[in-house]
Amino acid sequence: MNYREVMEYIEQAGQYGISPGLDSIRELCRRLGDPQGELKFVHVAGTNGKGSVSAYLSSVLKCGGYRVGRFLSPAVFEYREIIQVNDRPVPKTALCEGMEKVRQACDEMVKEGRPHPTLFEMETALGFWYFREKKCDIVVLETGMGGLLDATNVIEKPSVAVVASVSMDHMKYLGDTLPQIAVQKAGIIKRDCAVVSAAQDSGVMAVISGTAGELGCPLTVVEKDRLTNVRSGPERQKFDYKEWKNMEISLGGVYQTENAALALEALKVLGGMGFPVTEAVLRRGMKETGWPGRFTVVGRRPYFIVDGAHNEDGARRLAESLERYFPHRRIIFIMGMLKDKEYGKVIALTHSLADQIIAVTPPGNPRALSAYELACEAAVAHRNVTAADSLEEAVEMSRLLAGKDDVIVAFGSLSYLGKLMETAGFGEKGKGRK
């Protein structure tokens, strides 16, 4: 297959939907020679923050001279971003070679009467194959949706299981309560692996600590009360955490210091497992970490910010960040959501900060909520709501409304933020900055 054919095949594979469980991915990986069995992993689960934590870990380990694979979702700018080695997306040639092998294995499975693997299962297997080909020292593996039944959980045992903040999301698949969702997230914990967790809700923490205890896993938990001297800004932050003083990060959002503390704890554990880094490397890697679409400042005068707040906890954190950084500024929202998200709660938590809300339809996504439907929902809570016909119209409208001292915030589904940044003329700049 050439690259065009691969992308068409990937688009067609979306029809196989979501199918939690490990039987299919196990069989697919077996037919590829079980590449995951030859790799070491940091497995990262959580509702919000797992991508940022993975970014910190990958950046520091890369700066330390290790060859670091990274598997993530969703992509913001280009599909190939989901599989990276040392921050470089899988090349087109390797993507074509690997996906051809995956396709052959899938076809064989179907001929034998087995269900066709889902797209995420295919991507996961492809990632394992590529990371083995590149002889990665370690892979930072981000779960897709849950943990226990997530395709990434086909790995036998991670070196470290990291659990970022757990909150309500994907209830259709993961459960209706925080403890139920926590059981799914804690499913990445395997016997005798090290476990590192963010500070969690008490019900969530009970599940994580209980699982770790049952499986004989040492557990480290972020101590929020030792995260002190925080100097927070939309583009740069400094903080003290335990022995790490005056640590600097380049990601905005009030929640990022907690994500950074979680990464520091995980890196300390990894240091005792054959992946040590010096103090200088640690500081450089943390400072150089970029992560597009997570409270990313892509423009100034007016400030133009993009953020992937698409669930209740993410919306709450976005609101906290805007209140902290821009308490007396006029704010214009561009909002795009998916049908299966709790967009009503997102609106409820954020609408009071906006002077104007512009609703958009995330393009090219079958799960997209229409701009009209979103605008109708937002109009119940806010008097200034408009539905834009396109991303181009939304960007143009926001710039006409915003003065140089105002703030434009585009948020919601990550699936449209890359396209929006490109539409606004920030594509590569945004990617390079954050």
**Using one digit for the tens of pLDDT, what is the confidence trace for 377-422?**
999 999 999 999 999 999 999 999 999 999 999 999 988 998 999 9
Joined together, the tokens standing for residue 206 give: 């009970």
Q: Which pTM was predicted?
A: 0.91
DSSP letter for 360, please: E
Residue given tokens 């040492």 in the structure block? 218
Cα separations in angstroms, 413 against 64, 146, 255, 365: 33, 18, 18, 10
C-alpha closest to that of 357 among 323, 401, 316:
401
Spatial separation of the C-alpha atoms in residues 198 and 255, rounded to whole Å: 11
pLDDT at position 77 is: 83
Please report, rounded to a whole number, the percentage of residues in the chain having pLDDT higher than 70: 97
pLDDT at position 431 is: 41
Q: What tens digit of pLDDT does each residue of 128-161 get?
A: 999 999 999 999 999 998 899 999 999 999 999 9
CA atoms within 13 A on the CB side of 130: 31
Q: How confident is the model at residue 110 (pLDDT cuts 50, 70, 90)?
A: very high
pLDDT at position 433 is: 37
Q: What is the mean pLDDT of the chain?
A: 93
Residue 362: asked if its preceding bond is cis (omega within 30°), the reply is: no
Say if strands 68-71 and 138-142 run parallel, antiparallel, or are unpaired.
Answer: parallel
Q: What tens digit of pLDDT does each residue of 207-217 get?
A: 999 999 999 99
How much is the average pLDDT of 19-31? 94
Residue given tokens 């890196």 in the structure block? 267
pLDDT at position 429 is: 42
Residues β-bridged to residue 239: 247
Q: What tens digit of pLDDT does each residue of 323-335 get?
A: 999 999 999 999 9
Instruction: Show the beta-strand stretches assigned E in 22-174.
Output: 41-45, 68-71, 83-85, 88-89, 138-142, 160-163
74 has pLDDT over 70: yes
**Burial (CB count <10 Å: 0-12, 13-18, 19+), residue 98:** buried
Cα separations in angstroms, 173 against 18, 115, 145, 156, 264: 9, 19, 9, 23, 31
